[in-house]
Every structure is written in structure tokens, then in C-alpha cells.
Amino acid sequence: MFLEQPTDWEQSLTECLPTAGGTLADHGGELTVRNEASEITGSDWDHDMTVVVAFPSVEDTRARYEG
């Protein structure tokens, strides 16, 4: 499942960051990379930020995004 890309990053971060940590922790997730100066090659990406989240298993990942 892919989430829709935000059009207003500042608003999205302000609204999402306070609850994101708890949501990730509930499913064993961990923010592993946050890069605000990404350079994307080989595809189109119109934003400056890239975030990578890791979960202990595929099942935990699915539980977070499908549940």
C-alpha cells in the first residue's frame, strides 16, 4: 500500500510527527533514515525529504500499513 505524497510538507510534518513515533513503536517500527537533502536518480521525486522506516518483519510492516 502506498500513501499519497503530501503537497504541503511542512503541514504534514507538523501534523504527523507527534503521533508517528507512537504508531511506529506500536508495531516495532523504527525511523532509520531521515534525509532532508535527498538527490534522487533514475526516477521522478518532486520532494526534498526521504524517510526510511524499518520493521522487525514483513508481517509487522503489513500490520502497520494495512491495519
d(CA 55, CA 17): 18
- The SS3 assignment for 61 reads helix
Which pLDDT does position 67 carry in this prediction?
65
pLDDT digits (tens, 9 = 90+) for 5-61: 667 767 777 777 777 777 777 778 887 877 777 777 888 777 677 778 888 999 888
Which pLDDT does position 35 carry in this prediction?
72
Positive or negative, the Cα torsion across 66, 12, 38, 22? negative
Which pLDDT does position 6 carry in this prediction?
67
Which pLDDT does position 1 carry in this prediction?
42
Residue 25 in grid coordinates? 513503536
Residue 16 in grid coordinates? 504527523
